[in-house]
Chain A
C-alpha cells in the first residue's frame, strides 16, 4: 500500500484517486502523537497552497498543525473524525483519512516522497 501513496516531510500522506487526492497523516505521525482526541478540519470549498496549515490535531500531549500536502481545493472532509478522532490512531491510511483535495498542480504530487523514501526519512529520526 505504501507504494501508491506519497508523503511530505511534515508526515502527511496523499493518494491520487479518480482525479482527487485523499489526504491523512502517516502511521509514524499518529504513533508520535499518541491518543488523538480532537481534529479540526478545514471547511469544504476552502483553498490551500502546498504546505499551508489546513487542520489541527490535538492529542492528549500536544497540538499539531497539519499541512496541506498539495495545493488545491478541499472537496470533502472525513466527518467521522469529529466524533471518532481515534480513527486516525486506529487506521491512519484508511478510516482515518482527513480530507479530499482537488489538486491544482499534479506535478506537486510527483515531488513528494515515495513510501520507501519516507521510511528512510523517518528511520533517520
Chain B
C-alpha cells in the first residue's frame, strides 16, 4: 500500500499532500516538515530511499522520493511495495503531469492543485496502484477536462496563465523530464536519471 504522496518544493512548501490513511491535520503538517528536513539535506547523488524518520519509524514504512528541479516527489509506502517499482511509479506520475500540462513546472502544480489531484487519482486509488500506462492516465484526464469545460469550469488549465510566467523563467520540469524513458516499467527501472536532477531552481 501507498500510505501517502507528498509534493513539496526546495523550501518545504507543500504543493500536493495526499494521505491514503486518515491522519489529523496537525500530524500531516508535522510529517511533511520532518520529511522535508530529512530529504532536503541529502545531496542529489545520494540514493532515493530515505532513512531516519522518527515519526515514520517502524520497519514497515519506506520513504521513497525523487527530486526534479525545484520539486520533491515523496511516496511513503509499506513493505508490500517494490522499492524500485515505486521509483518508476514516481516517474510515471511526473511524465503524466508533463503530458497533461505540456511542459510542467512548479507553477503549474501551484495553480492547478485540483487538476494534479485528479491526475494522481488516475494513477493511485485508495493507496493502490490503479494505472501505470501513461497514455491511459493522460486520456482519462483529458476526457474529464473536456467534460469540465463543457460543464463550465471556474478555471481551466490554459486560462490562468501561471504557466507562461514559468516558461519565461525557463525553469520547467519538462526539459528535464522528456527524452529518456519511453515506458519505464516495460523497459527497465531506471533508477537514476542524472539529467532530471538539474537544478534550474527558481524560487517561489
Do the two shown chains form a genuine complex with each other? Answer: no
